[in-house]
Each structure stands twice: as structure tokens, then as C-alpha cells.
Amino acid sequence: MPFEFKLNDILGELGITKNKLAVEAKVRPATIGDICEGKTKRIELETIEKILYVLNNLSPTKRYTIDDIILYNLDIED
């Protein structure tokens, strides 16, 4: 799949856990885990919006966008 998920890297930058993000964003912990591990096959836009809202509230300087979470790379093979 040509998608690369960078959410785990962002959580490391911010020093927060997957569980904290899940609680703050009101998203199932398994959903956050699947995104972080690149196992997800489908993400609701509402979920992305909730995640970005929390990340941007927790970040003192950087503004995160969907491009920071999901990368589309044609060079990645299935």
C-alpha cells in the first residue's frame, strides 16, 4: 500500500502516548494503534479531524495537517 502513517512519530515528538491521544480525541485506542502501526485500511475524516484537533492543541508551536499524518508514496510497494 503506498500510504505511510507518521502518527507514531508525531506522538514521540509531543511526548504523548497512544492512549492519551485516544482519550483526548475520543477515538478508540485500537484505531489509534492501527494507524500508528500502519494496519488501518480505512480512516474516517471525522477521526482525522479529531486527531488533528488534539495534536494542534497539545503542540505549542507546530500546526499539524493531514499531510503530517499520512504520506502517499508511489515508490512503496505492496
All structural domains of the chain, each given as residue ranges with its CATH number in brackets, are 3-72 (1.10.260.40)
pTM of the model as a whole: 0.89
Is the pLDDT at 73 greater than 90? The verdict is no
Read out DSSP for 8-64? HHHHHHHT--HHHHHHHHT--HHHHHHHHTT--S---HHHHHHHHHHHHHH-SS---
Is the pLDDT at 77 greater than 70? The verdict is no
Kindly report, residue by residue over 12-47, the tens digit of the pLDDT: 999 999 999 999 999 999 999 999 999 999 999 999
